[in-house]
Amino acid sequence: MRETWRRPKLNIDSRVKRKFKGCILMPNIGYGSNKKIRRVLPNGFTKFLVHNYAELDLLMMHNRKLCAEISHNVSTLKRESIVERAAQLNIAITNGSARLCSQEDE
């Protein structure tokens, strides 16, 4: 696993500071993306974090632009109800199949 990026010490002899060829590049403002497409997913939607059943109703009028993403701390039972309600409202969910386990009665 790669280490997280850390800003190097920029002393007077630093090759990174002097931007030598073959050294790591410093993050600059020029590497940013366009503001209109900054948080847009490849499918054209923007993510909206959903924690409960009621927050899903906020997306009813914006289902062409926004898609729901179920928060990580939502239980399995509530996830199932959110996924069912999203199917009724025709709302896309990015992680709809996450942590949904089918229970079989024996």
Looking at residue 75, its pLDDT comes to: 93
* Dist CA 100 CA 29 (whole Å): 41
Please write the tens of the pLDDT for every residue from 17-53.
888 999 888 888 888 889 999 999 999 999 999 999 8
Looking at residue 43, its pLDDT comes to: 93
- Here the tokens at position 85 are 């309600």
In terms of Cα–Cα distance, which of 57, 60, 89, 83 is closest to 70? 83
Please write the tens of the pLDDT for every residue from 70-97.
999 999 999 999 999 999 999 999 999 9
Global pTM exceeds 0.75: no
The arithmetic mean of pLDDT across residues 4-26, rounded, is: 86
* Dist CA 26 CA 10 (whole Å): 11
* Dist CA 67 CA 96 (whole Å): 11
Kindly report which listed range (4-18, 26-40, 55-69) carries the lowest average pLDDT score.
4-18
